C-alpha cells in the first residue's frame, strides 16, 4: 500500500489531465451505451411502422452518439497519453536525481544490466500503472453509476441486476485475476533485469568470451535467461486470458439475468416491449467499462514490483551526506589530510589507516605502493565519492564535508586510471570539463597534451566521432585526452590515478614528460605503482596496507634503502630484462 501511495504522489502535478482522461474514458463508454441503446430502440420501434416523425429523435441520437464516441475516444487517448508521457519524463528525471548522490559508493554492488533495467525497463512498466491501472476503475465507477441510473428509470429490478453484474465483473473478476498474476507479476521485473544484465555483460565481454571459446556457455546463459522470462510472461498471459474469459462470462450471465427479469415485466405491462432489446444492448455495452479491469489488476502487481525496485535503490542511504548549511565554495586550494582512516565494509581491513598529508598550493606529491595499498582510496575520498569515518580532510582551512560535494569537486581535476570516453565527438568529450569552452581553448589544451599532430590527422577535426567508449583510440591517446580534459577544466589541484597504467615504457615516459611540463604551477597528487618520473616530485609517500611507511624525495628514499628503494630496484631490473 505504501508503494501504491508513493506512486500516486507523482500524479499530483497532473491531476487535471488525469481527471480529463477519466471523464473522457467514461464518456466514451457512455457514448457506446447510447449508440447501442438508441440503435436498438430505433430498429425495434421502426418494426412497428410508425410515422417517420416518431423516429427523428432516435435517428439524431444514433448520429450524435456515433460521432461522440469517436470524439471522446480521441480526447481520451490524447489526454491519457499526454499525462502518461509527462509522468514518465518526470519519473526518469526524478530517478536520475535520486540516483546521482548514491554514485559510485552505493551502486558498486549492482550489476550494470540491473541498473539499466531499473532506469529504463522498470520506469516503462509504470506506463501501465497510470494508463491501465488508475484510470479504468474510476471510469468504470462512473459508468456503473450512470448505467444504474438509466436502468432505474425503466425499472429498479433491472438496475439492481445490472449493478450486481457490473460489481461482480469489476471487483470479483479483477481480484481473482490479481491473485492469479501476483507471483508472476513480481517475478517479471526480476526476470527482465536478469536477462538485461546477461545481455549487457555478454556484449561488453564478447571479445574475451570469443578468445576463450566460451560462445556455447554464453548462448546457454542467454537461453536460460530468455526461458525464465518467457515462462513468467506465459503465466501472465494465461492469467490474463482467464481474466478476460471470466469477464465475458459474467457479462453474458448478466445479460441472461436481465432478460429473465425483463421478459416477465414486458408480459406484465410494466416495461414497454420496444425496450427489451434496448436494455439487452445497454447491458452488453455497459460491460465495456469493466472489461479492462482484469488486465488492470494483472498489471498492478508488475507495476508495484517495478516501483519497489526503484524505491529500494533510491531509498538507500548515500555514502556522502551533504551539509545542512553548506559553506560558500572554497576560494583557495590548500589541502591537508589528518589521521584519515577508511574501510569500505566492516568485514574488510582498513584501506587507509591514520594517514597524514600536506599539499600546499603548487606542491607535487606522489603516492606509491603496491596494488591495494590505499592510493586510489585517498583520491576517492578527496573527490567525495566516500566520506571517511575517521580523520578529516581540510580544504581551504575548512572541513571538506562542510562544502557541497559539487563545490568541493570543482577544486580538483581528476585523471583516472581508465579514461571513460563517451560515444560522441571529440569536442563533446572535452566539453565535459568545460561546456562553454571555445575551440581555441580546446586546440590549446590538445597541443599541451601532445595531441596536435593527432588532431590534424582526424577526418573531421573536433567533430570526429570517437566511437563506442573511444575504442578507436590507442591507450596513450586516451590518457592524453584525459590530461587535455583536466587541463581544460583548469582546476588548481590535479589528481592523477595511475595515469600511465597499461602503457608501454616509451609512451609512459612521453606522457610523464608531458604531465611534468603542462602541470607546472599546479598542485599535483599522483597515485602510481610505477616509479618512473618520481624524481620530479616534491615529496613521495610510500603506502603499505593503508599506512604511510616512508616519506621523502626520490633521492632520499633511494639512499634510505627501504621499501621504495626495493620497488625502484625491482622495476629497474624488470625494465633492463625487457630490453
What the chain holds in terms of domains, given with CATH numbers, is 16-197+230-314 (1.20.1560.10)
- Among residues 159, 171, 172, 161, which one has the least CA distance to residue 256? 161
Instruction: Name the pairing type of β-strands 335-342 and 390-395.
Output: antiparallel
Residue 573, pLDDT score: 61
Q: Output the pTM of the full model.
A: 0.74
Residue 579, pLDDT score: 47
Q: CA 118, CA 125: separation in Å to the nearest integer?
A: 10
CA 158 to the chain's CA centroid: 51
Interhelix angle 475-489/439-448, nearest 10 degrees: 130
Residue 574, pLDDT score: 56
Positions in the chain whose pLDDT score sits under 50:
579
Strand partners, 392: 338
Residues 6+ apart with CB under 8 A from 562: 542, 549, 550
Is the Cβ–Cβ distance between 440 and 474 less than 8 Å? no
Residue 509 exposure: Cα atoms within 13 Å on the Cβ side? 3
Altogether, the residues listed in the chain come to a count of 579
Q: CA 280, CA 401: separation in Å to the nearest integer?
A: 73
Q: CA 442, CA 334: separation in Å to the nearest integer?
A: 28
Alpha-carbon torsion (127, 128, 129, 133), positive or negative: positive
Residue 321, Ramachandran bin (φ over 0: left; ψ between -120 and 50: alpha; else beta): beta
The DSSP element (H or E) to which 55 belongs, if any, is helix 52-99
Amino acid at each position: 500500500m505504501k508503494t501504491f501511495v508513493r506512486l500516486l504522489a507523482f500524479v499530483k502535478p497532473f491531476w487535471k489531465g488525469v481527471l480529463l482522461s477519466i471523464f473522457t474514458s467514461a464518456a466514451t463508454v457512455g457514448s457506446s451505451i447510447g449508440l447501442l441503446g438508441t440503435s436498438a430502440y430505433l430498429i425495434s420501434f421502426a418494426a412497428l411502422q410508425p410515422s417517420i416523425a416518431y423516429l427523428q429523435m432516435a435517428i439524431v441520437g444514433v448520429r450524435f452518439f456515433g460521432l461522440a464516441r469517436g470524439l471522446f475516444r480521441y480526447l481520451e487517448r490524447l489526454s491519457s497519453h499526454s499525462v502518461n508521457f509527462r509522468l514518465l519524463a518526470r519519473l526518469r528525471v526524478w530517478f536520475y536525481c535520486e540516483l546521482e548522490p548514491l554514485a559510485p559508493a552505493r551502486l558498486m554492488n549492482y550489476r550494470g544490466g540491473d541498473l539499466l533495467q531499473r532506469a529504463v525497463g522498470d520506469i516503462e512498466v509504470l506506463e501501465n500503472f497510470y494508463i491501465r491501472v488508475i484510470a479504468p476503475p474510476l471510469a468504470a465507477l462512473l459508468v456503473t453509476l450512470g448505467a444504474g441510473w438509466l436502468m432505474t428509470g425503466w425499472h429498479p429490478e433491472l438496475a439492481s441486476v445490472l449493478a450486481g453484474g457490473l460489481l461482480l465483473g469489476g471487483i470479483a473478476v479483477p481480484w481473482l485475476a490479481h491473485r492469479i498474476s501476483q507471483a508472476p507479476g513480481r517475478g517479471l521485473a526480476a526476470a527482465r533485469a536478469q536477462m538485461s544484465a546477461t545481455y549487457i555483460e555478454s556484449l561488453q565481454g564478447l571479445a574475451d568470451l570469443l578468445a576463450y571459446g566460451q560462445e556455447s556457455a554464453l548462448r546457454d546463459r542467454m537461453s536460460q535467461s530468455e526461458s525464465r522470462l518467457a515462462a513468467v510472461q506465459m503465466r501472465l498471459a494465461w492469467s490474463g486470458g482467464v481474466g478476460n474469459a471470466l469477464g465475458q462470462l459474467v457479462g453474458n450471465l448478466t445479460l441472461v439475468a436481465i432478460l429473465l427479469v425483463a421478459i416477465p415485466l414486458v408480459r406484465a405491462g410494466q416495461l414497454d416491449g420496444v425496450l427489451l432489446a434496448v436494455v439487452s444492448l445497454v447491458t452488453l455495452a455497459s460491460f465495456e467499462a469493466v472489461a479492462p479491469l482484469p488486465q488492470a489488476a494483472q498489471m498492478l502487481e508488475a507495476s508495484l514490483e517495478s516501483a519497489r525496485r526503484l524505491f529500494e535503490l533510491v531509498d538507500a542511504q548515500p555514502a556522502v551526506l551533504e551539509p545542512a548549511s553548506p559553506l560558500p565554495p572554497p576560494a583557495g586550494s590548500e589541502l591537508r589530510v589528518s589521521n584519515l582512516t577508511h574501510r569500505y565494509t566492516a568485514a574488510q581491513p582498513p584501506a587507509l589507516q591514520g594517514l597524514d598529508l600536506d599539499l600546499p598550493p603548487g606542491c607535487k606529491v606522489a603516492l606509491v605502493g603496491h596494488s591495494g595499498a590505499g592510493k586510489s582510496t585517498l583520491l576517492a575520498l578527496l573527490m567525495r565519492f566516500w566520506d571517511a569515518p575517521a580523520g578529516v580532510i581540510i580544504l581551504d582551512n575548512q572541513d571538506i564535508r562542510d562544502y557541497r560535494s559539487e563545490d568541493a569537486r570543482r577544486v580538483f581535476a581528476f585523471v583516472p586510471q581508465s579514461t571513460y570516453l563517451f560515444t560522441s565527438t571529440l569536442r563533446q568529450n572535452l566539453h565535459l570539463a568545460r561546456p562553454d569552452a571555445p575551440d581555441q581553448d580546446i586546440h590549446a589544451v590538445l597541443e599541451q597534451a601532445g595531441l596536435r599532430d593527432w588532431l590534424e590527422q582526424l577526418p573531421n577535426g573536433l567533430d570526429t566521432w570517437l566511437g563506442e567508449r573511444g575504442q578507436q583510440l590507442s591507450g596513450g591517446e586516451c590518457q592524453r585526452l584525459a590530461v587535455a580534459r583536466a587541463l581544460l577544466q583548469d582546476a588548481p589541484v590535479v589528481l592523477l590515478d595511475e595515469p600511465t597504467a597499461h602503457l608501454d615504457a616509451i609512451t609512459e615516459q612521453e606522457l610523464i614528460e608531458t604531465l611534468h611540463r603542462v602541470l607546472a604551477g599546479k598542485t599535483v597528487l599522483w597515485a602510481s605503482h610505477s616509479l618512473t618520473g618520481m624524481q620530479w616530485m616534491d615529496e613521495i609517500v610510500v603506502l603499505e596496507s593503508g599506512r604511510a611507511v616512508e616519506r621523502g624525495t626520490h633521492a632520499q628514499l633511494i639512499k634510505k634503502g627501504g621499501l621504495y628503494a626495493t620497488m625502484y630496484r625491482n622495476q629497474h631490473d624488470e625494465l633492463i630484462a625487457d630490453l
